[in-house]
Amino acid sequence: MNKLATTTFITSLLMTTYCSATQPADFIITNAQIYGHANADTIAVRDGKITSIGTNSGTHRFSTPNTRTIDLEQAFVLPGFR
């Protein structure tokens, strides 16, 4: 991956993490090893888009009784685009 593509990828993940509104997630992926986020273990997703990448305690605010939680048991995750 070239330098521009890598920078774009990382910037988009950071923008998604820090610019998202606090709305309930459709599902939360937890207990994961997330590429590019050594200190994170949880991803919150709403409407097919990543709304937060962080720790389990930090993404708890996105959880509701209707939110599906998926425990990956330390599996590796590579967030992608569609």
In this prediction, the residues of the chain whose per-residue pLDDT falls under 70 are 1-21, 81-82
Q: Given this model, what pLDDT does residue 60 score?
A: 82
Residue 31 DSSP symbol: S
d(CA 18, CA 51): 9
CA–CA gap between residue 14 and residue 19 (Å, rounded):
8
Q: Number of folded domains in the chain?
A: 1
Give the CATH number of the domain where residue 45 resides: 2.30.40.10
Pairing of strands 42-46, 33-34: unpaired
Quick check: is 82 in a domain? Answer: no
According to DSSP, the β-strands at 27-30 and 42-46 are antiparallel
Residue 64 resides in a domain: yes
Q: Which domain holds residue 30?
A: 3-77
d(CA 15, CA 24): 18
